[in-house]
Amino acid sequence: MNYVKRMLLKTTAPRKGFTLLEMVVVLGIIALLMLIVIPNLNASRQRAETKRNEALTKVVNGQAAMYLNDNPGKKSVTVDQLFEAHYLTESQKNQASDQQIKVSQDGTSVTAPSHVKN
């Protein structure tokens, strides 16, 4: 009788771990959440990049105006000239060059292509 009691106790003892079905359900939920989150992350990244480009364009535009105001004999300015005259940091110069930001001939406007990716 001792043997039967031990066998019953072993089969009714709490089990450890997860079943395969429980694991599949959890993985399905995680996959569903990823399908929802990933497109939103990409859209947010694109909006952030657009805002960064707009901000850099405004900085270069302001610095070009200051440079031309400080140097009345100059009629035009380039991003490299702004950097050499310490109106832009090296990081700003590199970003402006990577994004193909151009200062107009009269120095009154700055343009950047909207399709540029960094």
Q: How many CA atoms lie within 13 A of 98 on its CB side?
A: 11
What local confidence, expressed as pLDDT, does residue 17 receive?
A: 80
Asked if the structure places residue 25 within a domain, the reply is: no
Please count the structural domains in the chain.
1
Q: From CA 7, how far away is CA 32, in angstroms rounded? A: 42
Q: Which parts of the chain sit beneath pLDDT 50?
A: 115-118
Asked if the structure places residue 30 within a domain, the reply is: no
pTM of the model: 0.59
Structural domain range at position 98: 35-113
Asked if the structure places residue 67 within a domain, the reply is: yes
Asked if the structure places residue 19 within a domain, the reply is: no
